[in-house]
Amino acid sequence: MAYTVPKLKDFSSAILDKAADKLLAALDEESKTVSSEAEWKAFRDRWMARKNGVLTQINELWLKAAPKDAKRDVGQRVNEIRQKIEQKVDGAKARLRAPVMEVEHSGIEVPVEELEKYAGGIKRDADRLDITLPGIRRPLGAEHPVIKTMNEIVSVFRDLGYSVREGPEIETDYYNFEALNFPPNHPARDMQDTLFIAHQESKPLRERLLLRTHTSPVQIRTMEQMKPPVRIVIPGKVHRNDPPDASHSPMFHQIEGLAVDSDITFGDLKGTLDHAMKALFGSSVKTHFRPSYFPFTEPSAEMMVSCFICGGSGKRGSEPCRPCKQTGWIEILGCGMVDPNVYGFVDYDPRKVSGFAFGMGADRMALLKYGVDDIQLFFQGDVRFLEQFA
Ligand SMILES: [Zn+2]
């Protein structure tokens, strides 16, 4: 006789115990009778179907009907019962699987002992193995869109003869600021909201540790180690005390470049960056420079590229082009001629050498390139988002 869920008149522990025992005994009994796929489905539905399954019924007849002071106790028992039902339903399916699969898929039954003779130690889950079942496929990984973008930018400069340098993410104040011509108390320090390591007040300012706010310290570290000519690109993570939003993240990626030699001019800077942008965004993009300020370059400039989304028109059909804010230009990087003061920190002679530096946000480049409108998506690790770029 099939089990039916009784209405409870009394919600005392003793009555609940009895009712639960009865239910679980019936569950156990019924699970044993399952011997085919069809029977298993019926078993599963009888106990778990949203509409009128036993689980739904005990929710209605026991939990919802329970008086307030018994709700907690009843709720706990219903949860335990739910787990048991799920276990039994899964268990019945697993018991079913081995023999039924053999019949349904192939009909080939090979005794494990036979296989072991040839294959030497095969993992055995059941008495029979179905050798026609598909194997386990491991999903292939792919490059993250930001890393992919960084690699593309790096390779453009590699082709121009630049080498790649990296440096520590925890830096001293000296490398992050002072040697880059940000004197103590200089207002330009406030342009970069810095994350400092705590409890360093007893150290001299230049030795205090912080999370680097740009990849520029690697320029100093490199020039300390080698004499000109220097041609390097520096990809890496940087950190600022910026609250996360669609275009800001406390951690982001920069790529920076530095070229120093005996006779480098602003013309070289423009030619190099113009070539790089054409290599990255297509040969029809135009570049445009306008004056800016950075402590470590003089003169400094911001470079714009003509909008590669609307072709510089500021419009997409009849709609305004949002990435360039209808101006037809997109601001893409900061650059300039290395300030002679910087050479003083690395023992280069400013009368004999000159050079340029530039830096761009790799995440921003990836946003533009892939038409993504929220930088946070890059760092949330959601495979559904990331696999679009694989
Ligand atoms: Zn545009």
Q: What is the pLDDT of residues 274-311, one digit of tens each?
A: 999 999 989 999 999 999 999 999 999 999 999 988 88
Q: C-alpha 90: how far from its chain's center? A: 34
Q: How many whole angstroms from 273 Cα to the centroid of ligand 1?
A: 20
Cα of 331 to ligand 1 centre, how many Å?
11
Higher-scoring residue by pLDDT: 298, 124:
298
Distance 360 CA to ligand 1 centre (A): 19
Q: Quick check: 119 pLDDT over 60?
A: no
Q: Rounded to whole angstroms, how far apart are CA atoms 91 and 258?
A: 64
Q: State mean pLDDT over 114-140.
A: 67
pLDDT tens digits, 57-91: 999 899 999 998 888 889 999 999 999 999 999 88
Reported as a single tens digit per residue, the pLDDT across 194-207 is 999 999 999 998 99
CA–CA distances in Å: residue 51 to residues 55, 221, 344 = 9, 69, 79
What band does 27 get if pLDDT is binned at 50, 70 and 90?
Answer: very high
Q: Is the pLDDT of residue 113 over 50?
A: yes
Structure confidence at residue 23 (pLDDT)? 93
Per the CB < 8 A criterion, the answer to whether 47 and 62 are in contact is: no
User: What pLDDT score does 118 carry?
Assistant: 57
Lowest mean pLDDT among 5-14, 217-226, 290-299, 346-355: 5-14
Burial profile 343-357: b = 16 or more Cβ within 10 angstroms, e = fewer: bebbebeeeebbbbb
pTM over 0.85: no
Neighbours of 51 (CB within 10 A): 6
Q: How confident is the model at residue 130 (pLDDT cuts 50, 70, 90)?
A: confident
- Centre of ligand 1 from the C-alpha of residue 311, in Å: 6
**336 alpha carbon – ligand 1 mean position (Å):** 25
User: What pLDDT, on the 0 to 100 scale, is given for residue 100?
Assistant: 37
Cα–Cα distance measured from residue 88 to residue 274, given in angstroms and rounded to the nearest whole number: 67
pLDDT band at 102 (very low <50, low <70, confident <90, very high): very low
| Model pLDDT, residue 169 | 97
